[in-house]
Chain A
Amino acid sequence: MKELKTVNKPVRKKDAMQLLTGQPVYTDDLIKEPCLIIKLLRSPHANAIVKEIHTEKALALEGIEAVFTYKDIDQDQERYTIAGTSFPEFAPYDRLIIDRHVRYVGDVVAIVVGKDEKTVGKAMKLIDVEYEVLDAVLDFRQALDNKTIVHPESNWKLPVDTGADVKRNLLAKESSSMGDIDEVLKKCRYVVDRTYHTKATQQCHMEPFTTFCEIDPYGRLHITSSTQIVFHIRHIVANALHIPKSMIRVSKPRVGGGFGAKQTAVSEVYAAFVCYRLKKACKLVFTRKECFTASSPRHEMQMHVRIGADENGIIKGIDLHTLSNTGAYGEHGPTTVGLSGHKSIPLYGKQEAYRFTGEVVYTNHMSSGAYRGFGATQGLFAVESAVNELASLMNTDPIELRLKNIVKEGEIMPAYFNEPLTSCTLDKCLIRAGEMIGWKEKGQRRILDNGKIRSLGVAIAMQGSGISAVDVGSATLKLNEGGFYSLIVGSADMGTGSDTTLSQVAAEVLDCDLDHIQVFSADTDISPYDSGSYASSTAYVTGKAVERCAMKLREKIIKAGAKTLECDPEKCEFDGNTVFCEDKAVSLIDIAYTSMVFNNEALEVSVSNSSPTSPPPFMAGTCELETDPETGECKVIEYAGVVDCGTPLNPNLTRIQTEGGIMQGIGMALSEDISYGVKGNVIENSFMEYKIPTRMDVGKISVEFEPSYEDLGPFGAKSIGEVVINTTAPAIQEAVYQACGKRFYELPIKAEDIALAKDREEK
């Protein structure tokens, strides 16, 4: 292979210095005055009907422009979804902009619009609402066939059959299997049979959900928003407002983090509705409290795992049943549950049978959505914890047990849609992660002189690279005056640096400096179609589109050069600066000029790309914990992660992705919790209560790569963004067990749980 000049190099993000010097690049920095302020009055009840709502006093306040209630929304019209997904949508159409029936604490009761925040805040307090409070479904284990139906309305609609039975609160169900799992498990010498519970967790993107809307010079609705999915937002808003898609333009400036949260139109519809109604510019910025209580967190799941191995330590089968809590609305419920099985079971390649069954239920909790890992994180917590317990049961080393059983390159993965495993270095990742933490030297448990316990844990993980045969990534490249290129994409760099990595791919193919690629993303009026930045798709799906697009533009440049040189394009070569033909040559700059004078052939190419498969990236993670047996306090001393993401397109950025994923996983394992009060209100509604790791909490994070080469990816690349969050919780769970002798089957595992478990044991 040719030596890489730009790809696989740790170059700076193209926007780095703008971000680090605090330039105004986010949605709320770019609003135009005058701009109306929108705030949402939210329900204090988990399930209620608005009997009456009085807005007169609020409307009488000077500076209040409008107050919208359910009376402004035809309650019988077609409903819509705010999930960003490709056609056909697996998400139910179960929302109205303002529904008379509110279904969780935080559901919208009124939209208040005024000249400034203070006035709007005052007006909110002047609105009187009378509710008929109904019983609420607050435990997802009791949702199915509950006497309370979360969506009793007649205009609830499902674009695609998900196996739903809405009168039973069942949103979706699915199953897949191979062989007779009951029979196989019966024959196993060792079986672990456990039920795991992961709660909802919050993405905590530092930039809150923010949307600005204005009417453009053509009378169209222009939405500027902090989103991962500009094209899906256009679709969603058109459905919600019942207006033609041609009347909507969606752009995203810099996005202050997403992690999946912004794959759902959490804030956009309200601002779009107000702007289109009033024909005035307006903005909606969520408070952090709203981000915690009325957003789109990870699905709470309960997973029942049965896993069996024979006397030789061969894992013969996994049986997994997942119950998922979608909350009050469906959104990503039908699509997340499957990943809990499809991205955990295939890790073990010697199974004779497997079964995965999943059910998704409605409750009166805040609606769930997409969060990094998207169901795989939950499933892997369960399956990997069970594998660790299996190793204990067999009295064998959990790394050795895995090395004996993991899937290998070249094998078919029955539980992963029978896709072939075309690239994989998971075995190397696992060995290296063990070495990095000092697995053999330290042993899994040792007591320090001060009485604290050091313990080790391990887990492995996979994810996908885009959604097979669904996701579309596209790129447009054009040659400009002076010989620089414009790269235009529709994927959303939400801080990952994808604008830069995609530019690296283009620069590599076009043999130019990275500075010669000027990148733009993303705008529905300008960008070629892209499903959006989610499902670990950007590097792999859009990246390949960029590679193919750049190859085509290369050919065009050579052709244009050949025309100038009056020779056969077949005999021409292009080195990035000059097209040569034997002893004749023409510069790229001159080719660019030529294209601007008496020219009928645009030096511009657009390419769309989809993949029939979703090659999984892999990761092995090991951790060293220090537990204080007196207080239960448990600190991560070191976390070692080794990743196979194919070719790392930019080693700096893949490293940071991994470090960030591990950090979020530490939060999920040890401190981040969403609990509900008796009335169905989220208790952890600020950073005071919802404890994400600070830099004092993460210990040392060590990251390495064991690159494989994925032929279908750009320069051998697979995805990186999601797989990196998946090993942390099960590895920590194992280390906690090693430290205190108790296995925890629910996250997060808090110091008080560890301390109390010990106390209970002593009594």
Chain B
Amino acid sequence: MIEVQNLTKYYKDFCAVDNISMTIRKGEILGLLGPNGAGKTTTLRMLTGYFRPSSGSITIKDYVMPEDNLKIKSLIGYLPESAPLYHNMLVYDYLEYVAKLKGIDDKEARYDRFLQLSDLCGLSAIMAKPIADLSKGLKQRVGLAHAMMTDPEILILDEPTSGLDPNQIAEIRNIIKTIGKEKTIIFSTHILSEAEATCDRIAIINNGRVVADDTTANLKQNAGRSSFIRLAIQGAQKNDVVDLLSGISEKLDISQVSENEKHILSFEIRCSDNTDFRSQIYLKIKETDWIIVEFQKESQALEKIFRELTREEK
């Protein structure tokens, strides 16, 4: 669907995107992860034809940039970072303007599409409001409606959830998931849990280079060792717990994290290989009169990979 080869972008002497190559298949939700200034936005801007690459090629379907730029632009729906819109227009007027520019000429067809979009993005209450009066989350939704106007095959969203409150983030994520069932979606974010929850595939970018590119499941599996068990116990002495747990297996590495005022001890238990010791731990503790307050396996997979791959070399 989308073929990117040796894509490079220089701003004067600064190399923002350095030789990126990737293939994005139809129907995939790709998350672009990376620290601030890694080159995510620049990459997306080149994909949408807003920036010209310094070198490299982009092929979408059978169209090549920049010759078929207009054709490619009509295949893509794009939501730029922080959804820049015309502030003095009403939402309805804005959508009508966009629909006309995107070539929906028939009045009826336009109206039908507005109804669908306002359902999907929850715009019906704000149709007659000036865009300047909308909150950030609402602007983001208008931007999303803009991007999806012609029901494009490819959606490119640049940090669609940045600056939103948790409710709004959940809403936008739901929208992405709903439309992602039949569309190809590329979106950038620096929130790891978001990428984990919504993407089929994750590409991590650092300093303009792709440092990891794999399915979400594979990435997590490769970093499996970073999972640990969080255990909190009431009514026990620290040494007793450590003795008891180390009796289970030599592979366990137990570290105490904290003890709070109610004498609840928290531990993180790691295992040198990937065996799950939860049942043994539970059975052991059952023999005592300690109370388990918290007992949970946690995975830091993505976070760990992300930090390792994007740490600044000093």
Partners in one complex: no
Residues of chain B whose beta carbon lies under 8 Å from any beta carbon of chain A? none
